[in-house]
Structure 1
């Protein structure tokens, strides 16, 4: 799990540049994923490219993080495709408003904005994926 904590820490520091990087800690991964289901994205060379966590009681995608080198190469889409009954189940997530690249990714996968709020890292939009009727 050390590599996942490394990815989580590095991607948050690289992406959330408006947040004090010292507020992100390596041990956050263990705390923030407690009780969640976890999927890994493995690159062709065997390297862990990223991960996704799900809080099953609410079908809530809590985290989807891909190492900078592997972003834009299908790892995020593969992680979503690994979700139970994807794309025939409703899923929700929160995406920071300032994280335009992630918002564009989720929109391209069919997520729509269904709410908004504020967190320690800034304003967020709740996004939901509704299966085709």
Structure 2
């Protein structure tokens, strides 16, 4: 499955501080179980990346984009595909060492609302709160 390959390769490329042997192709199925997964395709029809959401909590669990599509609007398109975006509140966890991802989310209106720790490292909880209606 292409999404499992994207998940594995991007994790290994991005999370350089984690032993790459801890990441496995079958992680995708386990980590997205029960989640809503949406994909973004490039102009050539190639899958550029995906977003997965635990809908019951409006929690963005994953947003992964292949390196050749990063910075070209795929991540923004996936956020915009979320139900109710941008009038709906969403939250996520972003590893502190993943500076590019944090910058992306902050640029899209997320704010740091908490902190925690995970096996992959310390993270910040980021929340998107819609602007009040005018």
Partner Cα separation in structure 2 for residue 89 and residue 14 of structure 1 = 31
The TM-score, its normalising length taken from structure 2, stands at 0.98
For residues 9-63 of structure 1, give each alpha carbon's deviation from its aligned partner in whole angstroms, at most 9, with x where no partner exists: 0000000000000000000000000000010000000000000000011000000
> In structure 2, how many angstroms separate the alpha carbons of the residues matched to 1:59 and 1:67?
24
Superposed CA RMSD in Å reads 0.3
CA distance in structure 1 between the partners assigned to 2:78 and 2:113 by the alignment:
22
Hey, what's the Cα distance between the residues in 1 that align with 2:12 and 2:81? 26
What 5-or-longer segments of structure 1 have no aligned partner? Answer: none
Partner of 2:47: 48
CA positional deviation for 1:119? 0.3
SS at match of 1:115: strand
- SS of aligned partner of 1:116: strand
- Runs of at least 5 residues in structure 2 that lack an aligned partner in the other structure: none
What is the TM-score of this pair, normalised by structure 1? 0.99
- The number of residues matched between the two structures is 132
Task: Find the counterpart in structure 1 of residue 68 from structure 2.
Answer: 69
